[in-house]
Structure 1
Amino acid sequence: MKKLTLFFRFWALNSLIIISTFASNGQDNIIKTGITGYLLGDFNLGFERMTTENQSVQFKMGYFMPVLSPVISEKTITPSEYDYVGSKGSVQMSIEYRFYTSKQGLKGFYLGPYLRYYGIRAEYTDIIQDKTFHVDGSVNNFGTGFQLGYHFIFNESFSLDISFFGAGIDKNNIKLVYTNDQQNFNYNEIVDDVSEVFEDIPYFEKRLKNEVNKDNLTSKLPFIFPGLRASVSLGIAF
């Protein structure tokens, strides 16, 4: 919670700095925040800056913590084999370059190629062969693609940004580290048990790599998957 409080303080300060820096340049800038992001535990702040009469660049940064979502529960992010212990949020960020179909500034239909990143960590326990293991899990996601949307500007001040369709490719890296309190435990004994979780999905099973170390078993699963995007943001133009 302390990290979240510090993030919101940074968010507010950053907003004031941006506004004071660009306020003299007319309606070429928009500060916005994603409403749909809050539903997923993504607390974000975006800044869009006009570069030409029908193009712009947008930067977005946020704090991603799914368990703070009103619609995502601990059960949602917990594999059926595990018991949830806790999770840690992560910074998420993206950059997008937009091409508007009109030449009326930052409004109307647009096409925007993007790059994005997010990560998350969670802790679980897993019982294997009647032994309890602590599982430290992490996911890192890098994505690229494009999105279509419509940007409304009301009274030259208020922004409603609706990105109704986005598609791309995401590179995901899942890492699971298994540890046990038993000294000198041979982690080779649980490799097959860990691997069989993915045996029903050949695409994942082929990519799973298990590394047996002296004090843990580390399972890594890199894979590429289609990415989809959609969002609604509110903001202020200045």
Structure 2
Amino acid sequence: MKNFYPKSFRLLYSIVLLSAFGLTNLRAQSTDSVYKPSREFKNTIRFNVTNPLIFGGKSLIFGYERILKNNRSFSVNIGQAALPNFENGFSDEFRSNTVLSEGGFHISGDYRFYLGKLNKYSAPRGVYIGPYYSYNRFSKGHDWEYTKEGTTTPKEFNSDLSLKIQQIGFELGYQFVFWKRFSVDLILIGPGIASYKIKATAEGNLTDEERQQFFDKLNQALKDKFPGYSGTVGDGDGEFEKSGYRSTTSFGYRYMINVGYRF
């Protein structure tokens, strides 16, 4: 499976990951007791910085976490989701002229258990585990040009893509708290089961072979962005010569960095 993170994000993620585990080990060795500050802030509002790095600046997700009793919490996240422009994921034969339409929506939630034996401080600082659920809906329309190798006259065609992803799984994370008010929340590992429902069209004067080539490129672009996506559009059975709909279930993953403010 290809690594779908930008280089800058992979570097940031590696540094923070190593720091998180280093601090966890140090605190676990120093004390098993739980320190509670004089004033507790039970609420956190936050912003997901991962999605803009992976999917572009139009993907804006905000969240809220509420601390419960016994070092537990729940969180919800909601916002605008967007697919990136796919042109860079295609060959030179397919060129995107215009993005005709796009939209998307994200909602997710989790229930967290902060591990008191590993954490020096009370929730929401330290290591946590728990179940999660997420739902994403994407849509995008493109105007394309296809220029076959050895020719100079391009063919024009339009594509429409609708993608819905539901995922349920179990996560491991670590949350830093700075100056009591500011937080950096890292979801480090989040394996799960994901359900993909996709509808794609390619309307124009393409041949069946050219249309299948386009669907192959589209599948590869989606695989690069969504680990676990198995590539179901137009898999050689003729059903997707012009359009079609597929549903599949496979393994999914969840990695996320949030920055927040406590109150």
Normalising by structure 1, we get a TM-score of: 0.68
Of residues 123, 131, 144, the one that matches 1:105 is 123
CA distance in 2 between counterparts of 1:88 and 1:177 reads 15
Deviations 1:132-165 (A, max 9, x none): 4322112111111121111122232111111111
Cross-structure match for 1:222: 247
Q: Which amino acid aligns with 1:51?
A: L
* Pairing partner for 1:116 from 117, 122, 134: 134
Give the counterpart letter for 2:239 in structure 1.
N
Q: Per the alignment, do residues 137 and 206 of structure 1 end up closer, same or farther by CA in structure 2, a change over 3 Å counting? A: closer
> Cα–Cα, structure 1 residues 104 and 208, in superposed 2: closer, same or farther, change >3 Å?
farther
**Out of 70, 80, 102, which is 1:88 matched to?**
102
1:237 aligns with 2:251: no
Change (3 A) 1:39 1:211: closer
Give the conservation status (yes or no) of the 8 Å contact 1:128–1:190: no
Contact 1:108 1:152 in 2 (8 A): yes
> What is the RMSD of the two structures over their aligned residues, measured on CA atoms?
3.5
CA distance in 1, matches of 2:53, 2:231: 30
What SS is found at the alignment partner of 2:52? helix
TM-score w.r.t. the length of structure 2 is 0.62
Give the whole-Å Cα distance in 1 for the aligned partners of 2:238 and 2:132.
30
How far did residue 66 of structure 1 move? Answer: 4.1
How far off its partner does 1:53 sit? 2.4
Q: Secondary structure of the equivalent of 2:191?
A: strand
Which of the residues 126, 148, 153 maps onto 2:172? Answer: 148
Are 2:87 and 1:75 aligned?
yes
Judged with a 3 Å threshold, the aligned counterparts in structure 2 of structure 1 residues 168 and 56 are, in CA distance, closer, same or farther, namely same
Shift, 1:94, TM fit: 0.7
Distance in 2 separating the partners of 1:123 and 1:94: 25
Pairing partner for 1:62 from 66, 71, 79: 79
Structure 1 residue 39 corresponds to structure 2 residue 53? yes
Please tell me whether the aligned partners of residues 188 and 256 of structure 2 are also in contact (alpha carbons under 8 angstroms): yes
User: For 2:50, what is the secondary structure of its paired residue?
Assistant: helix
Give the aligned partner of residue 8 of structure 1.
none
Contact preservation (8 Å) 2:128, 2:172: yes
Q: Is the 8 A contact 1:209 1:221 kept in 2?
A: no
Decide which structure has greater strand share.
1
Q: What does the per-residue CA deviation read over 1:68-107, in whole Å, with 9 as the maximum and x for residues that have no partner? A: xxxxx54245577643231513111111111111281222
Deviations 1:196-236 (A, max 9, x none): 755x9997366978378xxxx32223222321221221111
CA distance, structure 1, for counterparts of residue 243 and residue 261 of structure 2: 46
Letter in 1 for 2:95: D
Give the corresponding residue for 1:7.
Answer: none
Paired letter, 2:132? Y
Task: Tell me the distance in 2 between the aligned counterparts of 1:35 and 1:234.
Answer: 7
Residue 195 and residue 90 in structure 1: after superposition, are their counterparts in 2 closer, same or farther (change >3 A)? same
Tell me if structure 1 keeps the 8 A contact 2:87–2:94.
no
- Using the aligned pairs only, state the percent identity: 24
> For structure 2, which runs of at least 5 residues remain unmatched after alignment?
1-38, 149-153, 221-229
Question: What amino acid maps onto 1:46 in structure 2?
Answer: G
Compared with structure 1, are the counterparts of its residues 75 and 166 closer, same or farther at alpha carbon in structure 2 (3 Å cutoff)?
Answer: same
| Structure 1 alignment gaps of length 5 or more | 1-24, 68-72, 183-188
Is the 1:112–1:147 contact (alpha carbons within 8 Å) kept by the matching residues of 2? yes
Partner of 1:12: none
- Matched-pair contact (CA < 8 Å) for 2:47–2:61: yes
